[in-house]
């Protein structure tokens, strides 16, 4: 725990050093010559031209004609230089690098500075589009009725139903975080049951208990991993509800206040995560060399002490990336809990779609929120894994 807290405290300093390193690398990149300068610059110019031609509304930059003319004049000069360099390369072919004037240090430096000017124009065009987008969003937020265009309708419904979306987002994060934590705690117990193997020194009843514990953990993992989470949610909720109705005299309202949809959903996520994390931890324990256990036993440690002080800490460290991936998976898989009435993000999107009778814009909004959440958490987990010198998983893990 102290090691984990020290890592969290060191993250701000690591972030500052990372930003400094990126700035230094950017400065070195700006001062060096690069291949394909003309090609990339011409691609940017073509993109800027298409944006200008096909845009219906202009912002602070594209609406100012003198600035636009100056920018496109600069781009035209760069494009002509690129065309001349292409003609020179076609004419000289293999002698281009040694004989062409476009390969001299001064010409390459000028081309690099020209490409930076083109990048500056592209940045202004991008800022202009962002300005128009913000202006459009403000106008949509002031509307009294739901507009017909797709993007405007998506913004309107998200803004007017933001409290429901935020409630669903908060519920999704709580389900994923606490479900992973509780599932990890349960997985620790399951993995200790799973790795129990009888030895020749054990008595018969000890062997029987060890075999029973190992078979139970294996059966639990098989059943949970072999059935869908949606089905598990139905079973867990109705089993819990049935226990209250059969053994208590509480009303349905009182039962729902105790055995709520959120508690049932959290129980489902926790039990589901326990099955997957138990296999992850078991693999981590079995990956530790057996010689370390033998060395710990030779120092006088019991089997339990060797496991807790030598083997399991190493297995836990190696399993941290997989545990983080399980939390990301839980963020996405919690969407199935709307089947029992949990007000998570998918439930919120479906509810808003039913209010306005428009499905696709709301589901796109939910997809963007899921994507942002998973990308942020993936970046944090990758940074933590690099800090612990572990192998990181690039990208977003797939669903169970």
Distance CA(300)–CA(280), nearest Å, equals 29
Of 376, 262, 235, 398, nearest to 332 (Cα)? 398
Any long-range contacts for 100-109 (C-beta under 8 Å, 24+ apart)?
108/33, 108/37, 109/33
Distance CA(146)–CA(15), nearest Å, equals 43
**Considering the domain boundaries, does residue 325 fall inside one?**
yes
Q: What is the dihedral sign for C-alpha 55, 61, 64, 66?
A: negative
Domain boundary among 88, 112, 142: 142
Of 65, 280, 266, 274, nearest to 176 (Cα)? 266
Q: Encoding tokens for residue 231?
A: 């089905």
At 25 the pLDDT is: 65
Distance CA(271)–CA(223), nearest Å, equals 11
Say whether both 133 and 170 belong to one domain.
no
User: How many domains does the chain contain in total?
Assistant: 2
- 265, 333 Cβ separation under 8 angstroms: no
**Considering the domain boundaries, does residue 70 fall inside one?**
yes
**Considering the domain boundaries, does residue 151 fall inside one?**
no
For residue 283, give Cα distances in angstroms to 46, 81, 249, 311, 314.
53, 60, 46, 12, 12
**Considering the domain boundaries, does residue 87 fall inside one?**
yes
Say whether both 202 and 327 belong to one domain.
yes
- 127, 145 Cβ separation under 8 angstroms: no
Q: Tell me, what CATH number does 297's domain have?
A: 1.10.3720.10
Distance CA(232)–CA(268), nearest Å, equals 7
Say whether both 184 and 222 belong to one domain.
yes
- 384, 320 Cβ separation under 8 angstroms: yes
At 311 the pLDDT is: 77
3-state secondary structure of 1: coil
At 106 the pLDDT is: 84
Domain boundary among 142, 175, 207: 142
Say whether both 138 and 171 belong to one domain.
no
At 98 the pLDDT is: 78
Q: Encoding tokens for residue 308?
A: 């807790």
Distance CA(54)–CA(66), nearest Å, equals 19
**Considering the domain boundaries, does residue 311 fall inside one?**
yes
Owning domain of residue 350? 162-387
Say whether both 177 and 120 belong to one domain.
no
Alpha-helical segments (H) within the chain = 2-30, 37-54, 65-92, 96-99, 105-141, 150-160, 162-194, 204-225, 229-247, 252-258, 261-287, 290-298, 303-306, 312-333, 345-356, 360-387
Say whether both 314 and 193 belong to one domain.
yes
Say whether both 200 and 310 belong to one domain.
yes
**Considering the domain boundaries, does residue 394 fall inside one?**
no
Say whether both 178 and 84 belong to one domain.
no
* Burial annotation 205-226 (CB, 10 A radius, 16+ → b, else e): eeeeebeebbeebbebbeebee
- 341, 261 Cβ separation under 8 angstroms: yes
**Considering the domain boundaries, does residue 157 fall inside one?**
no
Say whether both 239 and 312 belong to one domain.
yes
The distance between the two most distant Cα atoms of the chain, rounded to a whole number of Å, is 95
Q: What is the dihedral sign for C-alpha 50, 54, 57, 62?
A: positive
Chunk the chain into consecutive blocks of 10 residues (it has 400) and report each block's average pLDDT, rounded to whole numbers. 58 69 64 72 91 88 89 91 86 79 83 89 93 92 89 92 93 94 90 78 78 89 91 92 85 85 93 91 77 77 75 78 87 91 92 91 93 89 73 54
Distance CA(360)–CA(120), nearest Å, equals 36
At 195 the pLDDT is: 78
Concatenated DSSP letters for 5-52? HHHHHHHHHHHHHHHHHHHHHHHHHHTS--TTHHHHHHHHHHHHHHHH
Distance CA(346)–CA(373), nearest Å, equals 14
At 319 the pLDDT is: 78
Say whether both 294 and 374 belong to one domain.
yes
**Considering the domain boundaries, does residue 392 fall inside one?**
no
Say whether both 105 and 213 belong to one domain.
no
**Could you identify the residue written with the tokens 């349960």?**
186
Distance CA(368)–CA(158), nearest Å, equals 12
Say whether both 213 and 352 belong to one domain.
yes
């Amino acid at each position: 725990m102290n090691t984990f807290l020290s890592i969290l405290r060191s993250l701000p300093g690591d972030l500052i050093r990372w930003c400094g390193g990126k700035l230094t690398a950017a400065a070195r990149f700006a001062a060096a010559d690069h291949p394909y300068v003309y090609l990339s610059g011409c691609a940017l110019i073509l993109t800027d031209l298409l944006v200008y031609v096909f845009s219906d509304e202009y912002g602070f930059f594209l609406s100012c004609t003198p600035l636009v003319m100056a920018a496109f004049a600069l781009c035209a000069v760069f494009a002509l230089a690129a065309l001349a360099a292409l003609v020179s390369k076609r004419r000289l072919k293999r002698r281009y690098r040694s004989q062409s004037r476009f390969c001299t240090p001064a010409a390459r430096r000028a081309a690099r500075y020209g490409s930076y000017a083109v990048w500056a124009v592209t940045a202004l065009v991008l800022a202009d589009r962002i300005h128009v987008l913000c202006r459009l969003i403000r106008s949509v937020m002031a509307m009294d009725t739901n507009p017909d265009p797709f993007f405007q309708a998506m913004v309107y419904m998200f803004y007017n139903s933001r409290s429901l979306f935020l409630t669903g987002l908060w519920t999704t994060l709580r389900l994923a975080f606490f479900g992973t934590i509780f599932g990890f705690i349960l997985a620790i117990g399951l993995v200790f049951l799973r790795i129990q193997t009888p030895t020749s020194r054990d008595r018969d009843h000890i062997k029987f208990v060890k075999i029973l514990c190992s078979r139970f953990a294996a059966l639990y993992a098989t059943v949970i991993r072999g059935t869908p989470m949606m089905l598990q949610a139905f079973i867990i909720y109705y089993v819990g509800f049935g226990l209250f109705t059969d053994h208590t005299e509480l009303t349905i309202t009182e039962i729902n206040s105790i055995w709520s949809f959120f508690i049932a959903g959290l129980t489902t996520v926790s039990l589901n995560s326990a099955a997957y994390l138990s296999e992850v931890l078991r693999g981590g324990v079995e990956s530790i060399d057996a010689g370390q256990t033998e060395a710990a036993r030779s120092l006088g440690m019991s089997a339990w002490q060797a496991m807790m002080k030598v083997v399991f800490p190493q297995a836990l460290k190696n399993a941290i990336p997989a545990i983080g991936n399980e939390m990301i998976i839980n963020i996405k898989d919690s969407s199935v809990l709307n089947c029992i009435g949990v007000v998570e993000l998918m439930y919120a999107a479906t509810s808003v779609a039913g209010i306005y009778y428009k499905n696709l814009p709301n589901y796109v909004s939910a997809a963007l929120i899921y994507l942002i959440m998973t990308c942020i958490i993936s970046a944090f987990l990758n940074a933590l894994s690099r800090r612990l010198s572990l192998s990181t998983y690039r990208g977003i893990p797939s669903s169970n």
